[in-house]
Amino acid sequence: MSLDETTHNSPSTASDVWSKFVTDPSSPGFSLRTTFPTNPDGVEVMLETWEAGTQEPPHSHPGDDMTVVVKGRMSTQVYRRESGSLVADGERVFLGEGDVGYHRAGNIHDARYLDDCQLVYVHNGAFAFVPEDASA
């Protein structure tokens, strides 16, 4: 079987890569499968699934990140702080299957999952989720 046949004729849901996920009780509708980086200059990679209609509140990460949408549709909005409040900074961006999104370290953003999604998430360095209070 060629790589092309593997990519186009085998749905991602049939791959063992998308098994053995762990749910996160603090984020209903979210489950993930992670790696542990052994290289201090490495990246952390997670395979994520999100249920349609779930969302992440405004937050940031300590490193640059990249999200590859394998299945489904999602959107993300970038924010900036203005007079102690979060204000939308630009238009909401919509990502579908095959699209890639990037956020710089410290960039405040949210995420909404419009369909059931499968994502490949790559974070530069050790991952951390930093909630951003809208009125801080």
**Local confidence band at 6 (pLDDT 50, 70, 90 cut-offs):** very low
Residue of 49 and 4 predicted with greater confidence: 49
Amino acid 61: pLDDT: 96
CATH topology of domain 28-131: Jelly Rolls (2.60.120)
Amino acid 3: pLDDT: 37
Per residue in 12-53, pLDDT (tens digit) is 555 777 778 889 888 999 998 877 556 677 788 999 999 999
Q: If you search the block for the tokens 């979060």, which residue do you land on?
A: 86
Judged by phi (left if over 0) then psi (alpha if -120 to 50, else beta), residue 125 lies in left
Residue of 84 and 7 predicted with greater confidence: 84
Q: At CB < 8 A and 24+ separation, what contacts does 17-22 make?
A: 17/47, 18/47, 18/49, 18/118, 21/47, 21/49
- Residue range 122-133: mean pLDDT, rounded: 91
Amino acid 34: pLDDT: 78
CB contact burial 46-82 (16+ within 10 A = b; e otherwise):
ebbbbeeebebebbbbebbbebebbbbbbbbbbbeee
Amino acid 5: pLDDT: 37
Amino acid 11: pLDDT: 54
- Residue range 117-135: mean pLDDT, rounded: 90
User: What are the boundaries of each domain within the chain?
Assistant: 28-131
